[in-house]
Structure formats: structure tokens, C-alpha cells
């Protein structure tokens, strides 16, 4: 649970406010309308600059975190690929490849150089946007990924939006209804139904959806990536589990938020229920929901990779599976790095979004 | 769990009883029974099916290919005429074994990694924990595919890959648990005694977190099954002629148009396992959380004894005409541990326009609940009896909308702790103006102008700037001013201030009290109900004082009477316990002996008698009624001993 920050910086600023307050009062008395005049405006500007300072620190911290995580990803992938026993080129092409081809590919990829040189060239190539070439088709990996990443990202992003749009209202309503131990039966029903559906893996949901809608009713296309219609079933398959998981979490968080004193304050003002939920509870619930938004996106990307294979969507998932079967490690490595980097980037973006929704997280140490 | 400082018994063995209770809690939960049955079914099928169904599952019969669903073939046959039902049953063994292997790898690696991170020091620990967090960012299935490919593909690669992918959550849980007990005394003691890190890890840390880890392990094994099935489904796990559920599902999906039942069989098997996972996890979590074992049962038991009905004298007529607020025989009942409890037991009082009424009492006296009930804020699970009349209108006679409108207009509450009573996620201006904009339909600019004016009234400078601030950017005193300013937005007739200064510094307390006095004596002469445990504060600021004890008013008197002639022994004791300015500093602080009785089970007779110095026999048996003092019509008192008050 987020707690109000009581750090010394704010406390001392509060005291300064007390002093400046009197000067501001003397300088600009009068009606509320001209309250923004002169000295007050100066104070407003100073306040913004103060916040800009903490923003800079916050962004710096996030950038350092981002770079560290990306570096860890690169090192891990590099080390693991080099752990593969045997010659990577022979692994991919088989033993009947000509010695010349093997020697050429080994030299092109630098497999004949010492490990640290390989790592340096791997990193420097990466910064130039070069992820290597496919052994079999000789196509640049960046080009393969560039062609295939669109449908995958589209799927994951639409699914993420659906997850938030459905599970937050669902969880908040469930939380409001079951608050204070009321409606135990609804609570039991909600917990067991969401628990059940959250447990079903996405490839299974995909299979069932494909069977029901595409084969039996033939309402949606069962394969391909043409038009928004082809997105319906994959998005449902990927998001069903996360919707249930997040709805459970939102319900608990709603119960937590509703028990806070500020909700009692809002009730004492006799605000209508929708205002209490929408204006007072929602921003606080949203903070908790956003916190796991990044990890949720990681799950959705993973789900997309699998579900694409069920619906034959030409995305990164099918590319990855084909590359694994063909032992094309350069492609596998490239796809893993790109998807991993996207997930890490999204998690950082979520942090920034969180800071915009909830300014206290600026000063919270992470 | 209790903390022991003994070093020779690191594992803190749970008593047989506790473990027994945990097992029973697991088994009595519906999910516990179901999960045990489901797990038994899975294991039973895995053991038995290959013994009897192997032939039907593997023998090809081209003539009988794509047979439909029927008595011979419950789920039809595949392209080679093999019975799908038999194949699904037989595949159970391989599927579970692969899942078990992957789960075992993830547990081994995860526990080792987690403990390593937990016992390492300084930068190493930071680096390991950061690395863990980074690893958790990568989608698990992606990592399983990647690692599976690296470790040679096929079944072996899939098992190692899934094991690796699932080890990071285990490592995270292990390190969190280990770090949380790392600060415990027996660990520190062992460290001081020079126990080596490795020995510390295995003999001291691991046994103490093992129970919580059991849950994670179970989940990890069944997730292993689901992940392996996913890889096989993608064609990256088992290869023909081997078959597991994932492989069967992928075959079935490929031929879904010809033989839909072929996909249905493995789908049901996987779904069944997934549900078993969720049920087991829930039941185990329940068994590991002792709080959940008993809580649901305690609540219903024998009905509580009816409170003795005691006549309560109506409050004396208020001066200055019609009271702005009148409360008659207020009873508030809330559910307690052993049945409903009356927190407020028949309270009557009146507040005159412009009056400051103090309600004093120790915590648990019912003073806050009285105020909350008046403001319509009693807990939803409780019930409120009696009559409340606000500005001449009986609240019980009003519709919900009328009640909301009346309370919004005429009554405001200022709560004890302004740091929690203000919404941390909303700017001050938003929370101040919401009610004006939504209930009174003021336009945004008008509402903000009003809010700025109210902030000026509570002496907050640069109000336009403060309206843009978040509560955490204000000091405690400023926040309470904002709370009071918010309360004044509707220009109410009555302001209830519940311990408004308790959470504040002493210097700020005086400012807030001055502000309340200013509001009371200002143009609108708002009536104030000041609730406090602090008699000094009340005696400096109130016109009239209610003294409450155990849910009842024991004395209702004017300020003058309080200072010069308190009658009730409890009021006298409170006054005696009040530090006096200018009094001898060396004198010990006077206190009231004994404890406040449990409001759910108060002593018989007068609830104050165990602490009362002048109690007589009658006080131990008869509850004294609150009566108007015969010689002093402006005072009500509930005491057998006070002259003239006894019946």
C-alpha cells in the first residue's frame, strides 16, 4: 500500500510555505479572483522548479535501471548461446555442409575469435542495429524481426488495453459489493470463477476459442492477420487469464482503498457513490493496477508468442518456433533480445506513468 | 509464529497439534478436499493407465482411422486408428513426469539462487537481487523456449528450459522469505556465534521457511506440467513417437475439422490439471495462514444478553431557542467477536446554535461512534437506533436523497488524522470542491473561488497555489486547516471535530483550536461538537461538556459546573488527572486506577464501580440511570452516590 510520504524535504518545504505565506498574504490581499497575481505566481513557478528537480533525479534513476537491465539481458543471452555444445554453424546446417561454407560463416560471425572479442563485436553490432544474419536464408535478423514484429505487438497492446478496461471496473464493482464482509456468496462466486479462469493456460483458451467460434460458428477467421476481425480471437485468448488475475487483485486493492480514512471523509460529504468510486477510489486503485502492468505486459507478449501459433498469425511467435526447430540460434537470440528489450522498456514506461498518476512515487526509493 | 532467541533449537519445531490443525484446515476447506481428490486422480491415472491402455494407445489400425465418438472409442481415433481416450490417459504419466522433472530443476536452482542472494552481503546481494528482478521481466515462456533451444531442443531441452524459466519466481520467494527471517534473533545470534554462512543457510534459514516454500513448490510442479505441455504443443517438446498432452493437443488442433474430439481430450486433461493447480494453491495458502482457520466460526454464538433498559433523562432545555441538533436515545450496535455489541447505549443530548459541546471520555467510551452515527457514518454492518433531529428535521423521516442533501448542507466532520483523511492521490483543490461541484452543482471556477476563500478563512496564504498541491506537500497543521476549510465549504450549522488536534504538534494544536473558536464566534456562529479524550482541551474551549463512559453519558454539565463543582466520581477523577498549570512539578501525575472495561462485557451494575473510590454495594448490582439533578436542573448525572441523584 502506498503511504503518504513524510520525508524531510517535503516537511521543510511545508515550513517554508508557512513563512512565505504571510508575505504572499500581505502582498496580494483581496478577492479570490486576483489571488494568482504577483508574488503568488512567483511561488507557483518556484514550486514547479522544485518538482522538476525530483523529476530529473527520478528519470536518471530509471535510465540507470533500464541500462542495467538491458545489459544483464545482453550478457545472459550471449553467455547462453555460447554455452551450446558443438559448432553453431554445423548445428544449423548439418554435417553435410561444405567446409568452405562452414569456414565462411564462422568467419563472418566471428566464431573463430576469442570470447571477449566476440562479445565486444556483438555489442557494437547491436548498437549499429545489426543482429546478424540467418545461416539458412542469409536474411538480416533485423529484417526478419522488422517484418514480423507488427502483428505480435498489435496483439499484445490490444490485449493489454482490454485487460485494463475489463478487469478494473470488474474488480472495483466486486470490491464495492463485497466490502465489509457483505454478500459472502458473491465473494465466493467471484473468487472461484476468476480463480478457475485465471488457471487455464492461454494456448488452451486459444484452442477452445478456435474450436467454438472459428470451426463451429465460423464467426471469426481461424487464421491469418488480415483486418481487425482476425484480432478478436487471439486477443481474447491472450487476455482471458490476465483479466481474471488482475480483477482479483483490483478487488483486494479496492477493499483496501475503501477502508481508508479519506473514503470516510468523502462519505461524510455525502458524495454520491459513483463519485466516491470514480474520483476518490479509482486513482488509488489504478496505482496498484499499473504497478503490475509491466509484468502483465511481459505475460501478454509471452502469450502472444504461443497463441500466434494456434491462429497462424505471421508474428514473431511463429518465427521463433521455426528458428528453434531449425536450430537457427542467431535468429532465436535476436528475437529474445528484441522482445526482452521491449518488455523492459514497457516496465520503465509504466514506472513513469505511475509517477504521473501518483506523484508520491517520485520520491519513493526503488 | 513466536520468536525465540534460543540458538540450540534453530528449527523451532511446530507442535504436533499445530501441524494437525493445519492439516485439518487444509482438508476441511472445500478446495482442500477437491484438490486432494483431483491430485489423487491424476497420480492414479498416471500409474495405472499405461499398464492397461498402452496397447490401445499405440497400436495402429489404418482401417479404423478417424473413427467417430462412440462406445468403442470414447473420443474417437486418430489418423492411424489409435484410440484418443487411451492416448490421453497413457500420456498422463509422461506429462506428469516431465512436469515433475522441470519442477524439481526449478526448485533446486531457485532455492539455491534465492538463498545465495539472501545470505550474501552488501553489493553482492544488491547485484543478485537486481539480476533476479531483471530475469523476472523476461516472459517465462520466452525464456523456456530460448533455454530449451540452447539445451539441445527436444524433451531434454524443454525440461531444462522450463526448469530454468520457472526458477526465478522461486528464487524471488525464497530470498524474500529468507531476508524476512534474516533479522530474527536466532539468526543474528547464530551469526554472532560464528556459524558459517552455508551452515547458517541450511540448518537455520531453510527449515524456518520450508513451510511457506511448500506452496511455491506445489505450484511450480504443476506449472511445470503446463509449461512443458505448451512447448510440446508448439512442437518444441516431445517428438513422435513419444506423446504427452501438449503433443496430443497440437495433433488434435491440426485435425480439428476432421475429429474435434481429438483436441477435446487433451484440452480437458490440461484444463483439469490447471484447475487442480489453482485449487491446491488456494487450499495450501489457507492452511499456511492460521488467521483463516478460526475466524469464520467465532462470529456466531449465543445471542448477547440484552442491555438493561435504563431510563435516560432528556437533556435540559437548551438556551437560545430550538436546538440545532438533538439526539434522543441513540443506540449503536456493531457485530463483535461473540455477537452484536452495543457501543453506544442510549445517549441523549442537544446542541444549541452557536454552542461548543465537548464530549470527553477515555478511548472505548463510545464518543467517536456517537459522532459518526450522528453524521450517518456508522459502519454498514452496524445498526443505529434512536432519534436524531438536525435543524428541526428527523433524519429517520427523510428519504435517502433528502438525508444526503440535509447532511451535506448542515453537517461537516473534521477527522483526527489529517494525513490519512485527505486523499493522497488528489490535489487539495479537487477534494475540496468535489462536493460543491457535484452536490451543489457549482461551476468549476466558482467552486475553486469558494475553496480559495475558505482556505483564506482558515489562514492559509497563497490559497490558489495550495489548491494545486497534493496533501503530502503540506505540513500536518496545513492539512488539518485544509480539512477544516473543506468542512466549511457547505457553511454547515454543525461541525463535528473528532480529536482534531491529537495527531498534531502542541504548537499547532493551539492554532487549530483558535481557528475552531473563530469559526464558532464568526458570522455564521457554527455549532461545534468537539470530541476529545483531553479534558484540558475541552475545558478551555467548550460551553457544555458530556462525560461518557462505556457507551453512556455519566454526566452532562456546564463549563462552570465542570470547573467548580463536578459531581460524578469519574468526572472528578478525570479532572484530578488533568495536569494543572502552575501546579507543583514534583508531584506525581494523578491517574485513574484500573482499566477501561471491555465494552462487549462490562461489569455488572455501574461500569465505573471497579475503579470508583466511593462505590457502595448498590453500584455493583444496579446500573445508575442518568437523571436531571434535582437541585441543579441544568445538570444530568448517573450515579447512586451523588446526593439527590439516586433513585
Using an 8 Å Cβ cutoff, are B145 and B161 in contact? Answer: yes
B598: left (phi > 0), else alpha (psi -120 to 50), else beta?
beta
Res. A237 pLDDT band, cuts 50 70 90: very high
Instruction: Indicate the residue of B229, B260, B462 with minimum beta-carbon distance to A24.
Output: B462
Name the minimum distance, in Å, from the CA of A185 to any CA of chain B. Answer: 14
pLDDT the model gives residue B183: 63
What count of residues does chain A have?
366
Pairwise pLDDT comparison (A16 vs B573), residue with the higher score = B573
Q: What is the pLDDT of residues B420-475, one digit of tens each?
A: 899 988 899 999 999 899 888 999 999 999 999 999 988 888 899 999 998 888 88
Q: Find how far residue B429's CA is from the centre of its chain.
A: 29
- Is residue B145 within a helix (H) or strand (E), and if so which, with residue range? helix B140-150
CA distances from B581 to B63, B389, B508 (A): 107, 39, 19
A309 with B234: Cβ contact below 8 A: yes
CA distance B365 to chain A (A): 21
Alpha-carbon distance of A300 to A297, in angstroms, equals 5
Residues of B in contact with A17 (CB under 8 A): 461-462, 466, 474-475, 478
Nearest CA in chain B to A203: B230
Which residue spans within B68-185 are E strands per DSSP?
none
Task: Assess whether pLDDT exceeds 70 at residue A33.
Answer: no
What mean pLDDT value characterizes chain B? 82
In this predicted model, what pLDDT tens digit does every residue of B562-612 receive, in sequence order? 888 888 999 988 888 777 666 555 656 567 777 778 877 888 888 888 888
Report pLDDT digits (tens) over A93-129. Answer: 777 777 888 788 777 777 777 878 888 888 888 888 8
Write the pLDDT tens digit of every residue in B109-164: 999 998 888 877 778 888 888 888 778 877 888 888 888 888 877 888 899 999 99
Distance CA A242, CA A199 (A): 10
Whether B336 and chain A come into contact, CB under 8 Å, resolves to no
User: In this complex, do B478 and A14 lie within 8 Å of one another by their Cβ atoms?
Assistant: yes
Q: What is the CA radius of gyration of chain B?
A: 36
Burial class (CB in 10 A: 0-12, 13-18, 19+), B583: exposed
Contacts of B273 (CB under 8 A, 6+ apart): B42, B222, B225, B226
**Rounded Cα distance, B640 and B647, in Å:** 7
Quickly list DSSP for B426-447.
S-HHHHHHHHHHHTS---HHHH
B135 vs A: CB within 8 A: yes
**pLDDT > 50? residue A74:** yes
Which range among A76-85, A180-189, A234-243, B184-193 has the greatest average pLDDT? A234-243
Answer whether residue B558 shows pLDDT above 50.
Answer: yes
Tens digit of pLDDT for each residue in A259-280?
Answer: 888 999 999 999 998 899 989 9
- Residues in chain A with CB shorter than 8 Å from the CB of B264 are 211
Q: Residues of B with CB below 8 A from A344's CB?
A: 134, 137
Residues B286, B210: Cα–Cα separation, whole Å? 16
C-alpha cell at B389: 433531529
Q: In this complex, which of A43, A283, A301 lies closest to B465 when CB atoms are compared?
A: A43
Residue A24 has pLDDT above 50, yes or no: no
CA dihedral A292, A297, A298, A303 (to 10 degrees): 130
Find residue B385's DSSP bridge partners. B331
**DSSP conformational letter for B13:** P
Cross-chain residue pair A279–B430, CB shorter than 8 Å: yes
The number of residues in chain B equals: 647
CB-defined contacts A:B, below 8 A: 266
Question: What is the side-by-side strand order in the sheet with B393-394?
Answer: B339-351, B325-336, B383-390, B393-394
Per cent of chain A over pLDDT 90 is 13
Of B328, B304, B367, nearest in space to B552 by CA? B367
Return the C-alpha cell found at A198.
Answer: 485465471
Specify the pLDDT at position B601: 81
Confidence band of A30 (pLDDT split at 50, 70, 90): very low
DSSP assignment of B24-87 equals: HHHHHSHHHHHHHHHHHHHHHHHHHHHHHHHHHHH---GGGTT--SSSS-TT-B-TT--BHHHH
Whether residue B7 has pLDDT greater than 70:
no
**What is the model's pLDDT at position B289?**
60
Q: Given the cut 0.90, state whether the ipTM is greater than it.
A: no
pLDDT on residue A36 = 35
pLDDT at B387 over 50: yes
pLDDT tens digits, B606-621: 888 888 888 888 888 8
What pTM was computed for the model? 0.78
Least confidently predicted of A129-133, A152-156, B266-270: A129-133
Q: Among residues of chain B, what percentage have pLDDT more than 70? A: 87
Cβ atoms of B231 and B162 closer than 8 Å: yes
Residues of B in contact with A10 (CB under 8 A): 472-473
| Contact assessment for residue A43 and residue A20, using Cβ atoms and an 8 Å cutoff | yes
Angle, alpha carbons B572-B577-B579 (nearest 5°): 125
Amino acid at each position: 500500500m502506498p503511504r503518504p510520504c513524510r520525508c524531510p524535504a517535503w516537511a521543510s518545504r511545508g515550513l517554508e510555505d508557512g513563512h512565505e505565506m504571510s508575505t504572499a498574504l500581505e502582498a496580494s490581499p483581496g478577492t479570490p479572483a486576483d489571488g494568482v497575481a504577483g508574488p503568488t505566481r512567483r511561488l507557483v513557478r518556484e514550486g514547479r522548479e522544485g518538482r522538476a528537480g525530483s523529476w530529473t533525479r527520478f528519470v536518471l534513476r530509471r535510465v540507470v535501471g533500464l541500462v542495467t537491465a538491458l545489459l544483464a539481458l545482453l550478457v545472459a543471452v550471449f553467455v547462453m548461446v555460447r554455452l551450446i555444445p558443438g559448432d553453431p554453424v554445423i548445428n544449423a546446417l548439418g554435417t553435410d555442409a561444405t567446409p568452405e561454407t562452414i569456414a565462411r560463416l564462422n568467419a563472418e560471425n566471428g566464431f573463430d575469435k576469442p570470447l571477449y572479442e566476440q562479445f565486444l563485436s556483438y555489442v557494437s553490432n547491436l548498437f549499429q542495429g545489426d543482429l546478424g544474419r540467418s545461416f539458412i536464408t542469409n536474411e538480416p535478423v533485423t529484417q526478419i524481426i522488422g517484418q514480423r514484429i507488427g502483428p505480435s505487438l498489435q496483439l499484445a497492446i490490444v490485449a493489454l488495453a482490454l485487460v485494463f478496461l475489463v478487469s478494473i471496473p470488474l474488480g472495483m464493482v466486486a470490491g464495492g459489493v463485497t466490502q465489509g464482509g457483505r454478500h459472502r456468496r458473491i465473494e465466493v462466486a467471484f473468487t472461484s470463477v476468476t480463480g478457475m479462469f485465471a488457471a487455464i493456460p492461454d494456448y488452451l483458451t486459444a484452442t477452445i476459442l478456435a474450436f467454438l467460434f472459428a470451426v463451429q460458428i465460423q464467426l471469426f477467421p481461424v487464421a491469418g492477420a488480415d483486418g481487425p476481425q482476425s484480432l478478436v480471437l487471439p486477443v481474447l485468448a491472450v487476455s482471458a487469464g490476465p483479466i481474471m488475475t488482475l480483477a482479483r487483485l483490483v478487488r483486494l486493492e479496492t477493499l483496501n482503498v475503501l477502508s481508508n480514512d479519506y473514503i470516510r471523509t468523502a462519505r461524510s460529504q455525502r458524495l454520491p457513490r459513483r463519485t466516491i468510486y470514480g474520483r476518490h477510489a479509482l486513482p488509488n486503485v489504478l496505482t496498484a493496477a499499473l504497478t503490475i502492468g509491466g509484468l502483465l505486459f511481459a505475460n501478454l507478449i509471452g502469450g502472444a508468442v504461443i497463441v500466434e501459433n494456434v491462429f497462424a498469425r505471421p508474428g514473431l511467435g511463429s518465427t521463433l518456433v521455426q528458428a528453434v526447430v531449425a536450430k537457427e540460434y542467431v535468429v532465436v537470440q535476436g528475437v529474445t533480445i528484441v522482445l526482452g528489450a521491449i518488455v523492459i522498456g514497457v516496465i520503465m514506461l509504466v514506472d513513469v506513468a505511475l509517477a504521473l498518476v501518483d506523484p508520491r512515487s517520485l520520491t519513493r526509493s526503488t | 509464529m513466536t520468536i525465540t532467541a534460543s540458538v540450540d533449537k534453530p528449527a523451532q519445531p511446530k507442535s504436533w497439534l499445530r501441524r494437525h490443525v493445519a492439516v485439518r484446515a487444509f482438508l476441511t476447506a472445500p478446495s482442500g478436499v477437491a484438490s486432494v481428490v483431483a491430485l489423487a486422480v491424476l497420480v492414479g491415472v498416471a500409474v495405472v493407465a499405461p499398464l492397461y491402455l498402452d496397447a490401445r494407445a499405440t497400436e495402429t489400425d489404418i482401417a479404423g482411422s478417424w473413427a467417430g465418438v462412440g462406445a468403442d472409442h470414447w473420443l474417437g481415433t486418430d489418423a492411424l486408428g489409435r484410440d484418443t481416450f487411451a492416448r490421453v490417459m497413457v500420456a498422463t504419466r509422461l506429462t506428469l513426469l516431465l512436469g515433475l522433472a522441470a519442477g524439481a530443476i526449478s526448485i533446486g536452482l531457485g532455492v539455491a539462487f534465492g538463498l545465495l542472494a539472501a545470505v550474501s552481503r552488501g553489493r553482492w546481494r544488491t547485484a543478485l537481487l537486481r539480476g533476479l528482478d531483471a530475469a523476472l521481466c523476461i516472459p517465462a515462456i520466452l525464456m523456456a523456449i530460448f533455454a530449451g533451444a540452447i539445451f539441445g531442443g527436444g524433451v531434454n531441452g524443454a525440461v531444462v528450459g522450463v526448469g530454468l524459466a520457472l526458477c526465478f519466481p522461486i528464487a524471488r520467494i525464497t530470498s524474500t522469505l529468507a531476508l524476512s527471517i534474516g533479522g530474527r534473533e536466532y539468526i543474528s545470534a547464530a551469526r554472532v556465534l560464528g556459524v558459517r554462512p552455508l551452515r547458517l543457510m541450511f540448518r537455520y534459514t531453510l527449515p524456518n521457511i520450508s513451510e511457506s516454500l511448500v506452496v511455491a513448490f506445489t505450484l511450480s510442479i504443476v506449472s511445470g506440467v503446463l509449461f512443458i505441455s505448451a512447448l510440446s504443443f508448439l512442437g518444441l517438446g516431445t517428438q513422435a513417437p513419444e506423446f504427452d498432452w501438449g503433443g496430443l493437443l497440437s495433433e488434435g488442433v491440426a485435425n480439428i475439422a476432421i475429429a474435434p474430439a481429438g483436441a477435446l481430450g487433451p484440452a480437458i486433461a490440461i484444463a483439469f490439471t490447471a484447475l487442480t493447480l489453482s485449487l491446491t494453491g488456494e487450499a495450501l495458502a489457507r492452511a499456511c495462514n492460521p488467521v483463516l482457520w478460526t475466524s469464520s466460526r467465532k462470529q456466531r454464538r449465543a445471542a448477547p444478553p440484552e442491555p438493561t433498559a435504563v431510563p435516560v433523562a432528556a437533556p435540559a432545555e437548551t438556551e437560545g431557542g430550538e436546538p440545532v441538533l438533538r439526539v434522543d436515545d441513540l443506540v449503536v450496535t456493531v457485530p463483535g467477536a461473540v455477537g452484536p455489541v452495543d457501543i453506544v447505549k442510549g445517549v441523549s443530548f442537544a446542541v444549541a446554535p452557536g454552542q461548543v459541546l465537548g464530549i470527553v471520555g477515555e478511548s472505548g467510551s463510545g464518543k467517536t461512534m456517537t459522532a459518526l452515527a450522528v453524521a450517518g457514518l456508522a459502519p454498514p454492518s452496524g445498526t443505529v437506533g434512536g432519534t436524531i433531529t438536525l435543524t428541526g428535521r428527523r433524519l429517520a423521516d427523510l428519504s435517502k436523497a433528502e438525508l444526503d442533501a440535509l447532511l451535506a448542507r448542515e453537517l461537516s466532520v473534521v477527522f483526527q488524522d489529517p494525513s490519512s483523511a485527505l486523499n493522497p492521490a488528489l490535489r487539495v483543490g479537487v477534494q475540496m470542491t468535489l462536493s460543491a461541484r457535484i452536490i451543489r452543482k457549482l461551476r468549476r471556477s466558482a467552486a475553486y473561488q469558494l475553496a480559495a476563500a475558505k482556505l483564506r478563512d482558515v489562514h492559509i496564504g497563497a490559497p490558489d497555489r495550495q489548491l494545486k498541491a497534493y496533501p503530502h506537500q503540506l505540513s500536518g497543521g496545513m492539512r488539518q486547516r485544509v480539512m477544516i476549510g473543506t468542512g466549511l465549504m457547505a457553511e454547515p450549522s454543525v461541525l463535528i471535530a473528532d480529536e482534531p488536534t491529537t495527531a498534531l504538534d502542541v504548537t499547532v494544536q493551539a492554532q487549530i483550536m483558535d481557528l475552531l473558536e473563530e469559526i464558532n464566534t464568526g458570522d455564521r456562529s457554527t455549532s461545534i461538537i468537539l470530541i476529545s479524550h483531553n479534558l484540558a482541551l475541552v475545558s478551555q474551549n467548550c460551553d457544555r461538556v458530556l462525560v461518557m463512559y462505556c457507551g453512556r453519558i455519566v454526566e452532562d454539565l456546564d463549563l462552570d459546573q465542570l470547573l467548580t463543582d463536578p459531581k460524578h466520581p469519574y468526572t472528578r477523577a478525570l479532572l484530578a488527572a488533568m495536569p494543572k498549570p502552575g501546579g507543583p512539578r514534583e508531584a506525581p501525575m494523578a491517574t485513574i486506577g484500573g482499566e477501561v472495561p471491555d465494552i462487549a462485557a462490562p461489569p455488572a451494575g455501574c461500569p465505573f464501580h471497579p475503579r470508583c473510590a466511593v462505590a457502595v454495594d448498590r453500584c455493583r448490582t444496579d446500573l445508575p440511570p442518568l437523571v436531571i439533578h434535582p437541585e441543579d436542573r441544568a445538570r444530568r448525572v448517573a450515579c447512586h452516590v451523588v446526593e439527590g441523584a439516586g433513585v
